[in-house]
Amino acid sequence: MNLREGTRRLALLLGAVGAIFAGFLSYAQLQSTLRQRAEHIRFEQLADSSVVEQARKECFDSDAPSEHGPWKKYQNPLEKLPPLPKGAKLIPPYCYIPDDHLNALYYTPSESNSGGIETVHFENREIASIESQDGQTLQPTPAPPARSYVLIAILPVLGFLLPWCAIRAIGWVATGFAHPGK
């Protein structure tokens, strides 16, 4: 066997190993991208639902008479109501300001019209998160960029080409030293 044939075989072997390793990296990137895409779609579906639109109307549209001022609708519903008798529950829907965060509003829809939403959290008039009835808290998640899909497709090719080209280049240089000019 000569140096040229050995270099070619080594380049193919390491290129195949690199492609397999990069294939695993590509698969991990694919799983991450698909998870991010699913979270984005789920949040967008809930954010565009009629329940959230109703929450925006009830929490941010000014329907209070002008003599009471626009702040009346932001009061905690427990403060607006007279004391409830023992065993009575406050029935949603309602908007309230949490005690620990004054720039936030929480909206709890009625159970008959919840659409799977437990609570909508607004912060500075934007949706900060949505709590679903199955216990998940969904945050606004951006859609995965197009370059992540391109990276998923290119990784195995790069995994082959990088070691293959490196070994071929090393073999080319070694061949130059082994067989000096004729």
Q: Is residue 21 part of a domain?
A: yes
Residue 168, phi then psi, degrees to nearest 5: -65, -40
CA dihedral defined by 172, 176, 177, 179, rounded to 10 degrees? 120
Q: Is residue 54 part of a domain?
A: yes
Q: Is residue 27 part of a domain?
A: yes
Indicate the number of domains in the chain: 1
Distance (Å, rounded) from C-alpha 145 to C-alpha 29? 12
Distance (Å, rounded) from C-alpha 93 to C-alpha 90? 9
What pLDDT was estimated at residue 19? 97
Render each residue's pLDDT in the chain as its tens digit; 182 residues: 577 788 899 999 999 999 999 999 999 999 999 999 999 999 998 888 888 888 888 777 754 444 444 444 444 444 444 444 454 444 456 676 766 666 777 777 776 666 778 888 888 878 888 888 888 888 998 999 999 999 999 999 999 999 999 999 998 888 777 766 55
Q: Is residue 1 part of a domain?
A: no
Q: Is residue 40 part of a domain?
A: yes
Q: Is residue 114 part of a domain?
A: yes
Residues 6+ apart with CB under 8 A from 25: 155, 159
pTM exceeding 0.85: no
The parent domain of residue 102 ranges over 9-178
Q: Is residue 3 part of a domain?
A: no
User: Do 120 and 59 touch, CB atoms closer than 8 A?
Assistant: no
Q: Is residue 123 part of a domain?
A: yes
